Amino acid sequence: MTEIEKEEVRLRLQHHYSEVLSLLGENPEREGLLKTPLRVAKAMQFLTKGYNEDPEAILRSAMFEEDYQQMVIVKDIDFFSMCEHHMLPFFGKAHVGYIPNRHITGLSKLPRVVDVFARRLQVQERLTTQIKECIQKTLDPLGVIVVIEAQHMCMQMRGVEKQNSLTTTSDFTGAFEESTTREEFLNLIGRRR
Ligand SMILES: [Zn+2]
């Protein structure tokens, strides 16, 4: 998306958020709210910027040939996403592991891939699977595993109001289908099952 297109979208979002404020019983003309529609529009564009980014290209931008065939783990990757059902935040930590098959990627690229998928409207299950598939498809490793632990504001602020519940999802391929390999990963990230 070009800067001009982004600006046009922002103006339209701004207009709609002003309407939303009125519908919620607020006065969008009062001082404290004057710039709120613009701020919300910008915030929402930032929080969904992953739609305009290509996670496979990010991995490929730092792909190296390497004989290393042991587990590579990046754990405790902080992420912030928004659930597609309520457009409320869910956030937590992602743990990613893979076993290279001739190709490795720059370690900083894995958190960036998590970020690209998190900056879209999501459900935790799909976020987990998309990260896994992106790594599997791009690096073609012997196996990849993704574990995500998150708190959902749509659960904590409304409805069932389970304040401290943590939702865990995981998905894996190849070598991680072996339970001993999975256990090694869980041990290394400090989570025993
Ligand atoms: Zn939700």
Tell me whether residue 193 is in a domain: no
Buried b (16+ CB within 10 A) or exposed e, 97-127: bbbbeebbbeeebbbbbbbbbbbbbbebeeb
Query: 């990627």: which residue's tokens?
Result: 105
Whether residue 26 sits in one domain with residue 116: no
> Which residues have CB less than 5 Å away from ligand 1 (the ion)?
83, 85-86, 154
Catalytic (active site) residue 65:
no
> d(Cα 100, Cα 143) in Å, to the nearest integer?
8
* Domains contained in the chain, number: 2
Identified catalytic residue from 84, 177, 178, 183:
84
Catalytic (active site) residue 154:
yes
Q: Would you give per-residue pLDDT tens digits along the chain (193 residues)? A: 899 999 999 999 999 999 999 999 999 999 999 999 999 999 999 999 999 999 999 999 999 999 999 999 999 999 999 999 999 999 999 999 999 999 999 999 999 999 999 999 999 999 999 999 999 999 999 999 999 999 999 988 886 666 778 999 999 999 999 999 999 999 999 976 5
Whether residue 98 sits in one domain with residue 30: no
Per the CB < 8 A criterion, the answer to whether 82 and 47 are in contact is yes
pTM, to two decimals: 0.94
Catalytic (active site) residue 86:
yes
